């Protein structure tokens, strides 16, 4: 199968279950909402070594937020709810409560699973905090040096999916990077997903385990490494490919991940120098979800 003359390999992306909390952060301006969002989602590229996977989902205007101010939705992803409780409290307490003009609201108010993160944060007020209603949501005002920090009582979480992905193979590194950049921009228009790696792009595509180092949980995916394509037996890098990037997508359900993969692939194949689209899987060893590229593209 081809799309815009670019080969789409008949393969699938393998993904796995993960818990996802969704938080809405608002600020006096979009700039300050983004500052808090970026801080709260730091060190969140991969659960291989990070305590959570996290990223910015979308920016919204004041007409879509409880307090009428610009906002940013973020997602925080962990394997278990106990870890989620800790990550919400630590990340939101240390990175949002401390950020200039930031307020914090529930991004999944209808989810069955709710964490009382805002209730716990109110104790920072040391007895001078107060309860209030913001847009019909139970919230707390915590007096601070700059004014009041507003936080909603609860943050919702759901059973989501992590690891939707696709690879962009191009004739050089910069062409692959350009394809990845436009793909990330297109994915950002899809509600309910994040691309947690730096700038949304994976430079270090990995495999489960290791061939030579038993103590490693994950190592370089050498079969997709252009610089050693002539040295690695069974390399998947074509002779005319010298640059590869991967995009990893986490999302609230299979539908939004499929939509995001399609949006990203359609954008990537428009870039000159693109040669092929493929995806990463490990024969079912990573997770139960399979996103077939041909099914998505057609």
Q: Residue 122's domain is classified under what CATH number?
A: 3.30.70.520
Given 109, 129, 157, the domain boundary residue is: 157
203/285 same-domain check:
yes
260/282 same-domain check:
yes
99/135 same-domain check:
yes
Domain, as residue range, for 259: 2-14+162-297
61/139 same-domain check:
yes
pLDDT at 287: 83
pLDDT in tens, 236-267: 999 999 999 999 999 999 999 999 999 999 99
pLDDT at 236: 95
190/213 same-domain check:
yes
**Residues of the chain under the 70 pLDDT cut:** none
Given 133, 157, 181, the domain boundary residue is: 157
Q: How far apart are CA 145 and CA 154, in angstroms?
A: 24
9/30 same-domain check:
no
Given 137, 157, 177, the domain boundary residue is: 157
Q: What phi and psi, each to the nearest 5 degrees, are found at residue 38?
A: -65, -40
Q: How far apart are CA 15 and CA 251, in angstroms?
A: 10
pLDDT at 242: 98
83/153 same-domain check:
yes
In our burial notation (b when 16+ CB lie closer than 10 A, e otherwise), range 4-23 reads eebbbbebbbbbeebbbbbb
Q: Are 4 and 269 in contact (CB under 8 A)?
A: yes
Entry pTM: 0.95
170/137 same-domain check:
no
137/221 same-domain check:
no
Q: Are 75 and 57 in contact (CB under 8 A)?
A: yes
148/173 same-domain check:
no
27/41 same-domain check:
yes
Report the number of distinct structural domains present in the chain: 2
SS3 content of the chain, % helix, strand, coil (to 5): 30, 35, 35
184/119 same-domain check:
no
pLDDT at 208: 83
């Amino acid at each position: 199968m081809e799309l815009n003359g670019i080969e789409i390999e008949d393969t699938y992306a393998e993904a796995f279950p993960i818990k996802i909390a969704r938080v809405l952060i608002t600020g006096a301006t979009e700039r300050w909402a983004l500052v808090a969002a970026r801080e709260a989602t730091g060190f969140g590229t991969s659960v291989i070594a990070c305590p959570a996977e996290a990223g910015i989902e979308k920016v919204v205007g004041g007409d879509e937020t409880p307090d009428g101010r610009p906002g940013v939705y973020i997602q925080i992803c962990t394997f278990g709810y106990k870890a989620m409780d800790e990550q919400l409290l630590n990340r939101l307490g240390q990175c949002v409560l401390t950020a200039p003009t930031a307020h914090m609201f529930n991004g999944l108010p209808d989810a069955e699973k709710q964490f009382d993160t805002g209730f716990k944060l109110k104790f920072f007020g040391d007895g001078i905090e107060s309860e209030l209603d913001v847009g019909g949501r139970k919230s707390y005002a915590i007096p601070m040096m700059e004014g009041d920090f507003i936080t909603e009582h609860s943050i919702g979480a759901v059973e989501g999916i992590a690891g939707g992905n696709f690879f962009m193979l191009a004739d050089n590194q910069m062409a692959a990077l350009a394809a990845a950049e436009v793909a990330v921009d297109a994915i950002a228009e899809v509600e309910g997903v994040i691309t947690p790696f730096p700038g949304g792009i994976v430079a270090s595509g990995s495999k489960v385990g290791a061939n030579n180092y038993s103590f490693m949980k994950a190592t370089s995916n050498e079969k997709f490494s252009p610089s050693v394509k002539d040295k690695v037996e069974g390399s998947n890098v074509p002779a005319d490919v010298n640059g590869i990037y991967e995009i990893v997508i986490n999302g609230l359900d299979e539908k939004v991940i499929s939509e995001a993969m399609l949006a990203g692939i359609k954008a990537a194949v428009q870039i000159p120098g693109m040669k092929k689209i493929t995806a990463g899987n490990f024969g079912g060893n990573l997770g139960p979800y399979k996103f077939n590229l041909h099914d998505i593209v057609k």
